[in-house]
Amino acid sequence: MGRSLTHKLIGSHLAAGKLDVGEEIGLAMDQILLTDTNGTMAFLQFEALGFQRVAAPRVVTYIDHNVYQFDSRNSDDHRYLGTASRKYGATFSKPGNGICHQVHLETFSVPGQTLLGSDSHTPLCGAVGMLAIGAGSLDVAVAMGGGPYFFTMPAVVRVWLSGALRPWVTAKDVILELLRRLSVHGGSGKIFEYAGPGLQSLLVAQRMTIANMGAELSLTTSVFPSDEVTRSYLSRLGRGADWRPAAPDDDASYDDQLELDLGAVGPLIALPGSPDRVVPVEEVAGTAVEQVMVGSCTNGSWHDMASVTAVLRTRRVHPSVSFVLFPGSHRILETMAREGLLTDLLEAGVTVSESTCGACPGLGHVPASGAKSLRAFNRNFPGRSGVKDDQVYLCSSVVAAASALTGVITDPRTLGPEPPLRLPASFAASTAGLVEADGQGEVARGPNIKPVPLGEPVAQTLEAPVLLKLGDKVSTDDISPSGAGILIFRSNIPAIAEFCFKYVDPEFVARAKAAGRGIIVAGELYGQGSSREVAAVAPMYLGVRAVIARSFARIHRANLINWGIVPLTCDDPGDGDDIERDDRLRLEGLRAALAAGARVTVVNARTGRGFAASCVLTPREREILLAGGLLAHTRSARR
């Protein structure tokens, strides 16, 4: 029986475990990428673990979120990351050089290699035959030091693509169609491997969009083969020598299969609140919008920029609309300038921003109160844009461009024939924004950078109040919000903890401090969305010692364990329904139950009712959790 490409990639990097679904495996990582939001903490943790130099063959630090440097504390963090990269052996990508995933694929991607990133959209590099996975900062810090990355072996699903996209239909519509079918938790515990005759019609840029936004399906990652389409793309980058084929065996077996006819997909749009609230664009056509944006790591490619320009050429943005474009990298922006796209865009009234994540995580271009914002981005969780009760729609670049012309959500098919696109013979190859390490100098720390806190060992018995009772799909944006005024504290846990659940319950922090110890109760997919580790560290700092939920997002569950917070799932999904905020729960013999791999009995003092909850752990996870997290476990092991 032949092997899938996924199994080949994992098998060639397997450091621990077996390739059995549900078993814990450890992977050796060829490459690491860090962002300025999560990377600051990753480097602080790297130092706290006692490493003297990065051991992974390629580590790159990107300044891509806080590019605008609204506050000197942003600049202090960037200086820290620049000096730490120089000293410890990482390449440094300066502010404005581009979004980590786009730049990394353009500059460092190698088919057949593995990549771990401190950002949940790291799977973008799966578009060129890499195994690319997002993780929390502490797991990334360990991999920087040469350790394996541990995770549960997912099921491998072959997504069989047939047909070809029709005019005005894009790769963004493909991933929105999958979200419409499967929902934001439909890919949990899975890797999607794309195959089929429809692949040949998809450019690498289109594959990037699909692989990147697979994170919204809760996939571990997405994998495309490295084929002649990949070779052509790398050759245009001047990196043809880095190409190598990567494909499954003809008789490869898979755990499941999903079929999608590209020719049956139409223009789609996600309604405000969640990326899976997907409807055909014609259902909301005519809805007035004040703000339109194209960019982010999902839609910042040359293909997106050229598509928008083709729609807007010789036309003008509607007077009621603010239209902002975010090229994914300096290379793309430089190529746009050489190819004349910038002139057309400026004449049309488009604001061309720096190459930055920018507005996607709420850093700048925050919409007006009550305004509707149409974005070719990846997430529209409530409040993510930087304002509470926002109304953000997600769409393709061409839907965005068509709507910017009319001032209302517009089906691009009403514009007539789709204009043709031309790929440049080569992309500009400037490397001015990349700084290689020389092992020299001292690490500069600004006053906002604080020591990494430690978790505490799991108590024998936990008795604590319920600090929050939450529903389904609580995102890391809900737990630790985005926005310029909050993200400046990513290197300062005591300060950023003050914003924990700010938009969900403004009294949470005060209540947590008064209680000293607390428990959170939630529904399905707790911790979905961004990999931001602070969504685990800040609650831990405030005394949260357990989260009881129906299910957890993969990265967030790992982050909870790494910081000593017990992730419990109800054996009966309805057991938590009658729990109310401020109820006092008692988890008798918690530590002993975790150590023995037994169920935990949870008793509600108000009702007297008890129920069973499980915390299924690998032996490695058990040791880490009982010690109070990975840092605490590592320090105790060295004594």
- Residue 108's CATH number: 3.30.499.10
Assign 363 a pLDDT band (cuts: 50, 70, 90).
confident
- The letter for the amino acid at 531 is S
| 630 shares a domain with 489 | yes
Token readout for 239 is 């990196």
| 311 shares a domain with 250 | no
CB 357 within 8 A of CB 322: no
- The letter for the amino acid at 482 is S
Q: How many domains does the chain have?
A: 3
Assign 639 a pLDDT band (cuts: 50, 70, 90).
low
Overall average pLDDT of the 552-580 stretch: 95
- Asked if the structure places residue 445 within a domain, the reply is no
**Among 602, 613, 575, 579, CA closest to 466:** 579
**Among 14, 27, 107, CA closest to 60:** 107
Overall average pLDDT of the 41-63 stretch: 96
Does the pLDDT of residue 433 top 60, yes or no?
Answer: yes
Token readout for 559 is 């982050």
pLDDT for res 576: 86
Is 22 in a helix, a strand, or coil? Answer: coil
With DSSP H G I counted as helix, E B as strand and the rest as coil, what are the percentages for the chain, rounded to 5?
35, 20, 45
**Among 336, 319, 384, CA closest to 358:** 384
- Asked if the structure places residue 308 within a domain, the reply is yes
Token readout for 12 is 């060639």
CA-to-CA distance for 549 and 569, rounded, in angstroms?
Answer: 5
Token readout for 627 is 């010690």
C-alpha dihedral (530, 532, 536, 541), degrees to nearest 10 = -150
Name the pairing type of β-strands 610-614 and 600-604: antiparallel
- Asked if the structure places residue 430 within a domain, the reply is no
Is 615 in a helix, a strand, or coil? Answer: coil
Q: What secondary structure does DSSP assign to 110-134, as a single string?
A: -TT-EEEESSTTGGGGGGGT-EEEE
Where would I find the beta strands (DSSP E) of 333-407? 351-352, 372-376, 391-394
CA-to-CA distance for 390 and 382, rounded, in angstroms?
Answer: 6
- Asked if the structure places residue 382 within a domain, the reply is yes
Q: Which helix (H) or strand (E) holds 473?
A: none
CA-to-CA distance for 69 and 33, rounded, in angstroms?
Answer: 21
- Asked if the structure places residue 589 within a domain, the reply is yes
The tens digit of pLDDT for each residue in 294-337 reads: 999 999 999 999 999 999 999 999 999 999 999 999 999 999 99
**Average pLDDT of every residue of the chain:** 96
Q: Domain boundary residue among 210, 239, 264?
A: 264
| 352 shares a domain with 214 | no
Does the pLDDT of residue 565 top 60, yes or no?
Answer: yes
| 315 shares a domain with 168 | no
The tens digit of pLDDT for each residue in 184-200 reads: 999 999 999 999 999 99
| 244 shares a domain with 297 | no
CA-to-CA distance for 167 and 356, rounded, in angstroms?
Answer: 29
- Asked if the structure places residue 434 within a domain, the reply is no
pLDDT for res 485: 85
Does the pLDDT of residue 90 top 70, yes or no?
Answer: yes
- Residue in the structure block whose two tokens are 């005519």: 286
| 220 shares a domain with 81 | yes
- Asked if the structure places residue 419 within a domain, the reply is no
Q: Give first-to-last CA distance, the chain, whole Å.
A: 48
| Domain around 86 | 5-264
Overall average pLDDT of the 88-105 stretch: 97
| 149 shares a domain with 41 | yes
Assign 637 a pLDDT band (cuts: 50, 70, 90).
low
pLDDT for res 191: 98
The tens digit of pLDDT for each residue in 15-28 reads: 999 999 999 999 99
| 84 shares a domain with 37 | yes
Does the pLDDT of residue 531 top 90, yes or no?
Answer: no
Q: Report the phi/psi class of residue 424: left, alpha or beta, with left for phi > 0 and alpha for psi in -120 to 50.
A: beta
The tens digit of pLDDT for each residue in 230-262 reads: 999 999 999 999 999 999 999 999 999 999 999
CA-to-CA distance for 474 and 504, rounded, in angstroms?
Answer: 10
- DSSP code for 17: S
Token readout for 395 is 């769409």
Phi then psi dihedrals of residue 43, to 5 deg: -70, -35
| 283 shares a domain with 171 | no
Overall average pLDDT of the 587-600 stretch: 97
| 80 shares a domain with 152 | yes
CB 198 within 8 A of CB 426: no
pLDDT for res 638: 57
Q: What angle do CA 81, 83, 85 make, to 5 degrees?
A: 65
Does the pLDDT of residue 484 top 90, yes or no?
Answer: no
Does the pLDDT of residue 636 top 80, yes or no?
Answer: no
CATH number of the CATH domain containing 582: 3.20.19.10
* pLDDT above 90: percentage of residues in the chain: 91
Q: Domain boundary residue among 234, 264, 294?
A: 264
**Among 327, 294, 307, 302, CA closest to 419:** 307
Indicate the burial class of 315 (C-beta count within 10 angstroms; 0-12, 13-18, 19 or more). Answer: middle
Task: Find all residues with CB under 8 Å of 312, minimum gap 6, and list them.
Answer: 344, 345, 348, 350, 401, 404, 405
> Is the pTM higher than 0.85?
yes
| 193 shares a domain with 80 | yes
Overall average pLDDT of the 374-388 stretch: 93
pLDDT for res 573: 86
CB 66 within 8 A of CB 37: yes
Count the Cβ atoms, other than its own, within 10 Å of residue 271.
Answer: 18
Q: What angle do CA 218, 222, 225 make, to 5 degrees?
A: 170
Name the pairing type of β-strands 434-435 and 91-93: antiparallel
Q: Domain boundary residue among 202, 231, 264?
A: 264
- Asked if the structure places residue 449 within a domain, the reply is no
| 273 shares a domain with 182 | no
Is 601 in a helix, a strand, or coil? Answer: strand
